[in-house]
C-alpha cells in the first residue's frame, strides 16, 4: 500500500499528520541559531560641530554645506546625510562594507582639517566619531539642583560627571 492510497482511504489521519509536520517545521525554524550569519556593521563616521547662537539656516550654509563639500571626495562613501539645527551641525557618512573604519575616520579627519579655514571663527572644532550603526542612546540623565544655578551646574557636570561616565566600560560617548 502506497502513502497516496493510505491518505485517500484515511483523509483525517493524513490531515492530522500534515498539520503536525507544519507545526514541528515552524517550531524548528524559529529555534534555528543565527550565528552562521556574518556580523555586518557598515562603517559609519559622524561629524558634530557647534556654532553657538546661530540659526539653523546659518549653520546649514556656513558649516554643514562647507564640511559636506570637503568630505564628499573621500574614497568609499556610500551615503552622506546631514542635519542642521540651531547652533549644531551633524553629518553622518556611511562607507562601503569593504572600507576599513579606522582608515575612513582618518580620511574624514584629514578632510575636516582642510575645511577648518573656511569655517567661522566662533565654531567649536568639529568632533569626529566612529559610530556603531546599531548604537542608540541607552540612558538620558536630567540633573537639577536647589543650590546651583544653570551655569554652575553645567560646570560641575563637565568637571566631575562627564569624565566618570566616559570611563565606564561600554560607554562610547557622553554628551552634555
Does the CA dihedral 153-155-157-161 come out positive or negative?
Answer: negative
Helices (H), 31-116: 56-59, 65-71, 101-115
Are 126 and 48 in contact by the 8 Å Cβ rule? The answer is yes
pLDDT at 20: 94
The pLDDT value recorded for residue 23 is 94
pLDDT in tens, 77-114: 888 888 888 888 888 888 888 888 888 888 888 988 88
Res 128 pLDDT > 90 = no
pLDDT of residue 137: 67
Beta bridge partners of 90: 48, 83
- Residue 169's pLDDT is 77
Q: What is the pLDDT of residues 133-166, one digit of tens each?
A: 556 667 788 888 889 888 888 888 888 888 888 7
The confidence band for 131, taking pLDDT boundaries of 50, 70 and 90, is: confident
Q: Mean per-residue pLDDT for 106-132?
A: 85
By CB neighbour count within 10 A (0-12 exposed, 13-18 middle, 19+ buried), where does 105 fall? buried
**pTM of the model as a whole:** 0.59
Q: Which pairing describes strands 88-95 and 127-131: parallel, antiparallel, or unpaired?
A: unpaired
| Average pLDDT of the segment spanning 41-55 | 85
pLDDT digits (tens, 9 = 90+) for 19-33: 999 999 999 888 877
**Percent of all residues in the chain with a pLDDT value above 90, rounded to a whole number:** 7
Please give the mean pLDDT across all residues of the chain.
Answer: 84
Q: Of 89, 41, 44, whose CA–CA distance to 62 is shortest?
A: 89
Amino acid at each position: 500500500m502506497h502513502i497516496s492510497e493510505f491518505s485517500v482511504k484515511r483523509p483525517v489521519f493524513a490531515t492530522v499528520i500534515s498539520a503536525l509536520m507544519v507545526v514541528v517545521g515552524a517550531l524548528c525554524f524559529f529555534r534555528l541559531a543565527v550565528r552562521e550569519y556574518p556580523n555586518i556593521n557598515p562603517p559609519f563616521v559622524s561629524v558634530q560641530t557647534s556654532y553657538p547662537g546661530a540659526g539653523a539656516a546659518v549653520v546649514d550654509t556656513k558649516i554643514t554645506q562647507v564640511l559636506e563639500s570637503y568630505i564628499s571626495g573621500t574614497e568609499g562613501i556610500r551615503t552622506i546625510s546631514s542635519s542642521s539645527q540651531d547652533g549644531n551641525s551633524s553629518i553622518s557618512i556611511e562607507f562601503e562594507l569593504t572600507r576599513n573604519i579606522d582608515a575612513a575616520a582618518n580620511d574624514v579627519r584629514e578632510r575636516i582639517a582642510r575645511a577648518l579655514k573656511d569655517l567661522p571663527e566662533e565654531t567649536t572644532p568639529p568632533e569626529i566619531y566612529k559610530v556603531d550603526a546599531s548604537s542608540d542612546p541607552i540612558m538620558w540623565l536630567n540633573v537639577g539642583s536647589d543650590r546651583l544655578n544653570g551655569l554652575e551646574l553645567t560646570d560641575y557636570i563637565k568637571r566631575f560627571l562627564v569624565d566618570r561616565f566616559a570611563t565606564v566600560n561600554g560607554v562610547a560617548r557622553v554628551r552634555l
